[in-house]
Structure formats: C-alpha cells, structure tokens
Amino acid sequence: VIDVRIRFGSLSRAVLKLRLFRRTRFFWFTAMAEQIFEIDGGIMEGGGQILRVCTALSCLLGAKIKIYNIRAGRSTPGLRSVCLLMQVSIPCVLFAASPSELILRGGTNAEMAPQIDYTLEVFKPVIEKFGFQYSCDLKMRGYYPKGGGEVRVKISPVKQLTPINMTERGTITKIHGRAFVAGVLPFKLANEMASAAVRCIRKEMRDIYVNIQSVQEPKDKAYGNGNGIIVFAETSTGCIIAGSALGKRGVAADKVGIEAAEMLMKNIRHGGCVDQYLQDQIIIFMALAKGVSRVRSGPLTLHTQTAIHFAEMLTKAKFTVNKLEDQESGSESNIIECEGIGMMNPSF
C-alpha cells in the first residue's frame, strides 16, 4: 500500500484530479484543456512508466488524458515504490507557485523499481544538473512486500529548466557501495553479498579500489525484513553508474552480490554516461528544458523508448537517437538528443 501526500502551491495551468484504482487498472486525469488524449497503457513497456510520464506532463501542460489498460503488461497493478512516485511528483512541483513538500510512503527497497539508495546517489545529482536542487529525507526504509517506508522531499519551484550535456564519461575513479540486512536477517548475509560483489568486479577492474560496506539497518529506521546490495562507479567527469540487487527467499547471498556486480559491469562496458535505469528517468526533464540536451547511454531500453514516445506526443519536443558502435569491444552506445520545449513557470 502506498500513501502519497503532496503539499504545493496551486498550479495555475492545470487542475489536478487524480484517482488510482489498483484493482480496476483505470485512471482519469482532468486538466484544463479541450483535446483528450486516449492512451493505451498496455503498449510498449506496458507498465507504470506510461502512467508516470503522462500524468506529470498532463498536469504541467494542461493536457486532458484518459489512460486505460494501466500496467497491463504487469502481473499485478499498482505503483508501490516510493522512488517511482518521486519520479512523477518532482516534475509537477518544480513548476508550482511556491515551495512544496512531498510525503511519500511505501516501499523504499522494492522489486521492479530503483532502490532509495539509487535515487539519492544517482538520480538526484543528475536531475539537479537541470538547474534545481531539492532535499530528500529518508525517514524509514520499507521492504517488499510490506512497504512501510517513508521519504520526505522538499523542493522549491524554478522558472525554467536548463539543458544538460553528458556525453563524455571519462575514466572510472572509484567503486563503492553498501550491502544491507534489516529485521531478523543475519548480518553474515551482508558480508557474503559484499564479498561476492568485490570478487566479481575485481576480475575485470583489478586497478580500482572497491569498497562495499556491510550494513545492519537500525531497527527504528527500517520496517520489515530485507536484504540487498547496491554498487556505484564514479568517473572522472562526474558520472555515476550503478548496479543493484535484492535478496529473495531461497537465493544465496553471494548470488545476490554477483547479480549487482554483473549489472554494474554491464553498464560500465557500454561506455555511456548513464546506466540502463537512469536513461528513461531523465527523458521528461530533457523534454521540458530550454535548449538541446545530449546524453550518452547504452542500448535504449524499452522503458526509455516508451518515455520518449509519450514525451514527444504530449510536449511536441523532438528527440533523436544516434547509435555509436565500438568496433574493438563490440559494445553499443547511443547519443540521446532532445530539443526541449522550454517550459516556463507561469508564477515567475
């Protein structure tokens, strides 16, 4: 169960009436506009990405939309993750009339979603490159399937977003991370995840110091039982690449660590400035910014293709994707370029 409370100044260009029905997969969003965009939520990625992108843009642009078949490509309905809710909320309140506070409750370390550590260490510093800053206070961690986490976000509005240019990754300078356990799970699981991840990474990167800390989450800061790991690679140009995994019943801890390490190495090999999970999360900001944004990524995920499709449909921003191939390594990367619409805050 997810509880979202948003406190923000009135959006003069849109009237927000949002109803999410987890069981019926049906959504209505009403805004001040004449045209109605009917959107099949089951196409392309077929999950919550369509709902997140379209809801935020509908709110900002005053476009009236009707989405049906929400998360038709998923086994269960609902948004669940606090981090995913943050993705849809932040663009909306950036263009509010006054500072906003988001109180997000649900899972912070959940399956099929970024971990809160990823949101804080990767997502946050990159989207702040668009010309704004916000605070994110992690009050309580919540684990799958119970949730129970809480995050509070405070953010001030901006007049306009600035474009970003992230095309040069540079060299890897540092690899670090955290392997955690919470609740009744034994601390040795954290050590096993961390050790396995370090061994896996050092097979390819012997010259880089790898520091993965084992952490027992405080009982007053974590709700429920859970374990997982997240590993970050920092570069000489300020890029941050990540890999992560969550523990599951019946899966050995060392396999969880290896899964996270292999994900990190996969994202390092393609030479992009963003990993496979960040690339789709920045699309909406690129579409809203004034001017041309350019970002180098690995192969485009279906999530990214979906975000681009609906961002172009609702904003009329123009995206182009140019493929780059490294003949020596055989890896594929892309330059995602967008001429943003230069969304203006009407309150400034």
Tell me the pLDDT tens digit for each residue of 77-127: 555 688 988 988 999 999 999 999 999 999 999 888 899 999 999 999 999
129/191 same-domain check: no
- Among 167-181, 207-221, 245-259, 322-336, name the one with the lowest average pLDDT: 322-336
CB 59 within 8 A of CB 92: yes
- Position 4 scores a pLDDT of 40
99-132 CB burial, b ≥16 within 10 A, e <16? ebebebbbbbbbeebbbbbbbebbbbebbebbbb
- Position 68 scores a pLDDT of 77
User: Is 143 assigned a ligand-binding role in the annotation?
Assistant: no
Q: What is the DSSP letter of 270?
A: T
148/289 same-domain check: yes
Q: What is the domain extent for residue 87? A: 3-165+275-341
pTM of model > 0.75: yes
Residues of the chain above pLDDT 90, percent: 69
User: Is 133 assigned a ligand-binding role in the annotation?
Assistant: no
- Position 330 scores a pLDDT of 65
> Is the pLDDT score of 200 beyond 70?
yes
115/43 same-domain check: yes
308/188 same-domain check: no
**What's the mean per-residue pLDDT of the chain?**
86
Boundary (domain end) residue, out of 242, 269, 296: 269
CB 118 within 8 A of CB 244: yes
102/27 same-domain check: yes
Total residue length of the chain: 348
Q: Is residue 24 very low, low, confident or very high in pLDDT (cuts 50, 70, 90)?
A: very low
Residue 328 lies in a domain: yes
pLDDT in tens, 28-70: 333 334 677 777 777 777 667 788 888 899 888 888 888 777 6
90/195 same-domain check: no
Could you give the CA distance from residue 157 to residue 91 in angstroms, rounded to a whole number?
10
User: Is 277 assigned a ligand-binding role in the annotation?
Assistant: yes
Residue 94 lies in a domain: yes
Half-sphere exposure (Cβ direction) of 295: Cα atoms closer than 13 Å: 30
Work out the average pLDDT over 195-207: 96
Q: Is residue 240 very low, low, confident or very high in pLDDT (cuts 50, 70, 90)?
A: very high
Work out the average pLDDT over 282-291: 98
Q: How many domains does the chain have?
A: 2
45/115 same-domain check: yes
- Position 37 scores a pLDDT of 78
Pairing of strands 149-155, 100-106: antiparallel
> Is the pLDDT score of 174 beyond 70?
yes
| Best mean pLDDT range from 6-15, 144-153, 170-179 | 170-179
User: Is 160 assigned a ligand-binding role in the annotation?
Assistant: no
Work out the average pLDDT over 214-235: 96
Q: Which residue has the tokens 């992690």?
A: 138
Boundary (domain end) residue, out of 227, 245, 269: 269
> Is the pLDDT score of 152 beyond 70?
yes
User: Is 281 assigned a ligand-binding role in the annotation?
Assistant: yes
Could you give the CA distance from residue 182 to residue 215 in angstroms, rounded to a whole number?
9
Boundary (domain end) residue, out of 248, 269, 290: 269
Q: Is residue 233 very low, low, confident or very high in pLDDT (cuts 50, 70, 90)?
A: very high
303 assigned to active site: yes
161/302 same-domain check: yes
Work out the average pLDDT over 16-34: 36
Among candidate residues 303, 311, 309, 306, the one with its CA nearest the CA of residue 287: 311
User: Is 213 assigned a ligand-binding role in the annotation?
Assistant: no
Residues of the chain above pLDDT 70, percent: 84
Residue 347 lies in a domain: no
The catalytically annotated residue of 176, 270, 303, 309 is 303
Domain CATH code at residue 30: 3.65.10.20
Residue 348 lies in a domain: no
